[in-house]
Amino acid sequence: MHYLTDHLFGIFIVLGLRYLLVSNNVISKIPFLKRDEFPFKVDNFSNRISIPNERINSNSNSTHDPPVLQEKIFHFTKESIAKLKAKANLEMKTTKISSLQAVLAHVWQSVIRCRNLDHNEETTFEVPIDMRKRLNPPLPEGFFGNAIYPATITVKTGELLEHGGFAWAALQINEMIASHDHEKFKCIYENWMKDPEVTKLGDLPSNYFMLHNSPRFNFNEYDFGWGKPIAQRGGVSNMLEGKIDVSPGLEEGSIIFEICLSPNAIQALEEHKMFFGVE
Sign of the alpha-carbon torsion through 248, 250, 254, 260: negative
Q: Going by C-beta distance under 8 Å and a sequence separation of 6 or more, which residues neighbour residue 91?
A: 164, 165, 167, 168
Mark whether 223 is an active-site residue.
Answer: yes
Catalytic residue among 43, 65, 203, 223: 223
CA distances from 188 to 143, 180, 278 (A): 20, 10, 38
Answer for the pair 219, 7: CB distance below 8 angstroms, yes or no.
yes
Distance of alpha carbon 234 from alpha carbon 204, whole angstroms: 19
266 residue type, one letter:
I
List 150's β-bridge partners, or say none: 128
Answer for the pair 149, 210: CB distance below 8 angstroms, yes or no.
no
Answer for the pair 169, 155: CB distance below 8 angstroms, yes or no.
yes
Q: Which residues are catalytic?
A: 223
